[in-house]
Structure 1
Amino acid sequence: MFVTLTYSVYMKENRDISIKIRLTEAEKEQLLQRSKEEGKSLSSFIRESALKGRSMSKTDVQMIYELRKIGANINQLAKHINTLPSDENILYSLDRINQYLSDVETINRKLL
C-alpha cells in the first residue's frame, strides 16, 4: 500500500530572516504596549505595520462597525424628526443630531 502526502499551498512559510533595528527604551515599550493591546506578538505587530502600512485590531474593526450602526440610527432619527411639524425644540434636536453625526464621521475617518 502506498500513501501519498500532499502539502497544502497554505503551508506556513518559515521566517528565518531577521532585521535588527535600534529603539529607545520608550519606543520599545510603546511597541510592546500597542502589540499587547491588539492581541498580537511583537513580531506580528511590527511585520503587519511595516508590510500593510497600518495594523488594525479586532477592537478597531468592532468600533468602526458600532460607530456605523450609531450613525445609521441617528440618521433615521433625523429623518423622522424632519417629518414632524416645525418647532424650536425639534430644530434644536436636529442640530444636535447633525453634530453627533459629524462627530461619528470624524471618529470613523480617524480610525480608517
Structure 2
Amino acid sequence: MNEKRTARLELRLTFEEKEKLSKMAQERGKTIAQIIRELVINDKLVTKTDIQTVIELKRIGNNINQIAKQINLIPHEDNIKLYLQELHDILNMLSVITKKLV
C-alpha cells in the first residue's frame, strides 16, 4: 500500500474517549490513526502480544501435557482395587513398624 494518505477526517471525542484511544494506541505501539484504521477499515484490531503472556501460556500448556501424561499412567479400573489393597497393606505394615519404634 504505497498510496499516500491525503484525505482527512475530523472526529470529535470526549476527553475520556480520546484518552482511551491514546492509551490503546500506546499499549500496542501504534498511532491513534492506525488503531482507528484497523478497527474501521480492516474490521479488526491487531494487538501486540506481551511476551510474558506467551511464556505463561507455554507453561500452562506444559503443565496440561504433564497432567495428561500422569492421567494416562493411571491403571485400568480392573487393577485399581489391587493397587489400593497393596497400598492398604503397606500402610498397615508402616503402622506396625511405627508402633514398635514408639
Structure 1 residues 70, 45: closer, same or farther in 2, change over 3 A? same
Larger radius of gyration: 2
Q: CA deviation at 1:62?
A: 7.5
Letter in 2 for 1:19: L
Match for residue 18 of structure 1? 8
How far the C-alpha of 1:60 sits from its partner, in A, is 5.4
For CA contacts below 8 A with separation 6 or more, give which structure has more relative contact order.
1
| Corresponding residue to 1:81 among 64, 70, 74 | 70
TM-score w.r.t. structure 1 length? 0.54
* Equivalence map 1:32-43=2 (5 Å): 32-43=22-33
Distance in 2 (CA, whole Å) between partners of 1:73 and 1:36 is: 32
* RMSD, aligned CA: 2.7
Q: Distance in 2 between matches of 1:60 and 1:52?
A: 22
How far, CA to CA, are the matches of 2:39 and 2:23 in structure 1? 14
1:24-44 deviation per Cα after TM superposition (whole angstroms, max 9, x unaligned): 011011101110110001111
Could you tell me how far apart the structure 2 residues matched to 1:63 and 1:51 are?
28
Residues 52 and 42 of structure 1, relative CA distance in 2, 3 Å threshold:
same
Q: Secondary structure of the residue that 2:41 maps to in structure 1?
A: helix
Stretches of 4+ aligned residues off by more than 3 angstroms:
60-66
Output the TM-score relative to the length of structure 2: 0.58
